[in-house]
Amino acid sequence: MRQEPPASSLQPPAPAAVRRRTDCRLCGSRDLQQVMSLGATPLANAFVSAADRKTPQARFPLDVHLCGGCGHVQLLDVVDPEVLFRDYVYVSSTSPVFVDHFRRYAEAMLALTGMPAGSRIVEIGSNDGALLGFFQAAGMRVLGIDPARRIAERATAGGIPTLPEFFTPALAKRLRTEGGEAALVAANNVFAHADDLHAIAEGVAQLLAPDGLFVFEVSYLLDVVEKTLFDTIYHEHLSYHTVKPLASFFERHGMELIDAIRIDSHGGSLRGIAKRRPPRRWSAAGRGGGRFPRQPGVDRLISEEARLGLHGPEAFRAFFRDIQSRKAELTQLLRRLKGEGKRIAGFGAPAKATTLMFHFGLGPETLDYVIDDSPLKQGLYTPGHHLPVVPSSCLYEASRRPDEVLILAWNFAEPIMQAHRKFLDAGGHFIVPLPRVEVR
C-alpha cells in the first residue's frame, strides 16, 4: 500500500495572519495536489523574548503542493508578509561562509557584464548589504530594498543605502524615475519568499536597462530532494523552484531565462540569470541571442529534473519516506544519549532549524539550549519550543558545557566543527543530522 504524507492537523489561523490560495503561483493553474505535509510549525524566525517565553505561539500548516499545469512546487498557505519580514532578525554578514560567497558572486557578475564604474545595481531583499558592499567597493552605485526596518536602518548606517520597503512595480517605476535604470537587479533567497512573483517580474522588467540582467538565487528543489534538505521547507519559502516552470514564467513577462547554475549555498541552490526580451518579434534563430545568449545550463537542468521525476508527484512521496527514515534514526540515537544522562545542545538557529526541530521532535525533552553566533538571536528563545539561544562560549563553561552538540545548521557542519576543535579535543561530540546521521 502506498504511504501517503499525513494531513496537517492544524486548524487555519485567523484570516488576517494567513490565507490559502487556490491557484499556482507561477502559471495560475488550479490543478494542484498535496504531495507532502510536515504538519504545523510556528514561523521559522519567530524568536521570542524572555517575557514571552511562556506564551504559546500559533502554528501554521506546512503542506507542499505540486502544480499539474507547469510542475511548480509550492506552499499554498500564505502568511502575511508584514508578520514574516518586518521584524526579521537574520543578517548575512554574521556568516563568514556567506560573506565569501557574496564576494565570489559579485566578482562573477562583474566579469559577466563588464559593467563600467558608476553602473546602478539594485538588490531586492538586500538584508544588511553584504553583497552590495562588494559591488560598491568596485565603484558601482548601489541601492538595497528590504522590508526589515531595523536591518535596513543598520545597512544604511553602514554605508549601503537601503529602503525599508517591499519591492513592487510602483516602487520600481519610482526608482527608475529618481535614479535611472539598473544594469543589474539581484534577488537572493527572496524570489522564493514572495507570493506575487508576477509583480516582482513586472517591476524588474521596468527597472532594468535594455541590456541589464536579473540575477537571483533560490534553494533548488533538485538539491532539496537529492540531499534530503527538507528543513528548507518553511513558511517564508513559498516556492521550491525548478528550472522548467521558471523558464515558462519569465517568458510570460517578456523576459528570458538565459542561464541556470547550481551552486553550493544553503546546501544546494540555483542561480538564475534572466534578461529582458527586445520588443521586436524574435525568430527561432534570434531567440536567446544578443549580448547575453542563452546558455546550455538551462536545458541541461530541465533534462535532469525530468530524469529525476521532479515534475510529477511520485518523487515527493519517496522523498517523504526518506525523511521519516532519517527522523527515526536520529530519534533513536538521541533517546539513547538522554537515557545515558547526556546533556545535548543544538548549534545554529537558522530558519530551517524550526522545521527540523518540530518535525523531528527536538524540543526541551531533547535539547538543553541552542547556540548561535548572531548577537541578534542571543538572549532570545527559539520559535515554539522556547529554548534559550546562547553564545558559543557555553561550549566551554563548566556549568553549561554539553556532552553532545546536535548541529542544527548542518549545512555549515564542517566550519562549525573546525571552529570548535577545542570542544572535540576535550571529549565532546558533534552530531550531524542530515543528509545522513553522523557522530563526530
Domain residue spans in the chain? Answer: 92-307, 333-439
Higher pLDDT, 337 or 278: 337
pLDDT 10s digits, 409-431: 998 899 999 999 999 999 999 99
Is residue 79 pLDDT above 60, yes or no? yes
Provide the CATH number for the domain formed by 92-307 in this structure. Answer: 3.40.50.150
Is residue 406 within 8 Å of residue 123, measured between CB atoms? no
Residue 232's pLDDT band, with cuts at 50, 70 and 90, is: very high
The three three-digit cell numbers of residue 198, written as one number: 508576477
Whole-angstrom distance, CA of residue 427 vs CA of residue 324: 31
Residue 10's pLDDT band, with cuts at 50, 70 and 90, is: very low
Is residue 388 pLDDT above 70, yes or no? yes
Residue 90's pLDDT band, with cuts at 50, 70 and 90, is: low
The three three-digit cell numbers of residue 378, written as one number: 542571543
pTM of the model: 0.88
**Cis omega (within 30 of 0) on the bond before 435?**
yes
CA quadruple 299, 301, 304, 308: dihedral positive or negative?
Answer: negative
Is residue 227 pLDDT above 70, yes or no? yes
Whole-angstrom distance, CA of residue 330 vs CA of residue 336: 10
Beta-strand relationship, 73-75 and 77-79:
unpaired
Query: What is the predicted pLDDT for the residue at 189?
Result: 82
Residue 139's pLDDT band, with cuts at 50, 70 and 90, is: very high
CATH H superfamily, domain 333-439: NAD(P)-binding Rossmann-like Domain (3.40.50.720)
- Two domains, one topology: 92-307 and 333-439: yes
Is residue 135 within 8 Å of residue 198, measured between CB atoms? no
Query: What is the predicted pLDDT for the residue at 14?
Result: 43
Q: What Å distances lie between residue 231 and 185, 218, 355, CA to CA?
A: 28, 14, 5
Query: What is the predicted pLDDT for the residue at 13?
Result: 41
Task: Count the alpha carbons within 13 Å of 50 in the hemisphere toward its beta carbon.
Answer: 4
Q: Give the single-character DSSP code of 187.
A: E
